């Protein structure tokens, strides 16, 4: 059940965040560490912070299947997402080293996905990280919705040099 995506935030933003913070407290013990750290970080949802993904643009999205075993038969899925930050002064990277499922739905992307609008982290019944992302297209409307279920997420801010 979403807490702070567009429907909830557009209706009552402060109430949506209050409910999300309460939810985070109830699942802290089972929440994957990287996702929990981002979900609880004040800067992550502050559009004035350059590391915040709000209004960022996608640079690349890579799905890979690293393998091990004598014949490389032991495979798993990993995802790396790289964004140009909203202030265009750095890059934001999300890395999901072990992905269990993902769904990428886009109703329009002929001009790109547009801005990263809203996202939230939740925990699945199996204790896995769920990262749901909404993209705002042109004109400002939802153009895509992504759902990634992973073991956890790693985050990096890379300033432009």
pTM for this entry: 0.91
Tens-digit pLDDT string for the chain (161 aa):
777 777 787 787 888 889 999 999 999 999 999 999 999 999 999 999 999 999 999 999 999 999 888 898 889 999 999 999 999 999 999 999 999 999 988 776 666 678 999 999 999 999 999 999 999 866 556 678 899 999 999 999 999 98
Residue 125 DSSP code: T
Contact yes or no for 90/139 (Cβ under 8 A): no
Q: What are the tens digits of pLDDT across the range 120-146?
A: 999 999 999 999 999 986 655 667 889
Q: How many helices (H) and strands (E) does the chain have?
A: 2, 9
Q: What are phi and psi of 87, to 5 degrees?
A: -90, 0
Q: How far apart are CA 141 and CA 159, in angstroms?
A: 29
């Amino acid at each position: 059940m979403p807490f702070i995506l567009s429907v909830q935030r557009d209706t009552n933003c402060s109430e949506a965040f209050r409910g999300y913070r309460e939810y985070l407290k109830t699942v802290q013990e089972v929440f994957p560490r990287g996702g929990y750290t981002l979900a609880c970080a004040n800067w992550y949802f502050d559009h004035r912070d350059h590391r915040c993904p709000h209004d960022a643009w996608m640079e690349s999205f890579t799905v890979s299947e690293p393998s091990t075993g004598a014949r490389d038969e032991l495979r798993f899925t990993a995802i790396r997402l790289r964004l140009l930050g909203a202030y265009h002064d750095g890059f934001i990277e999300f890395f999901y080293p072990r992905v269990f499922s993902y769904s990428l739905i886009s109703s329009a992307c002929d001009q790109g996905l547009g801005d990263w609008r809203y996202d939230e982290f939740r925990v699945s019944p199996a204790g896995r990280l769920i990262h749901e992302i909404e993209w705002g297209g042109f004109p400002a409307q939802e153009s895509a919705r992504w759902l990634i279920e992973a073991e956890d997420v790693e985050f990096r801010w890379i300033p432009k040099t």
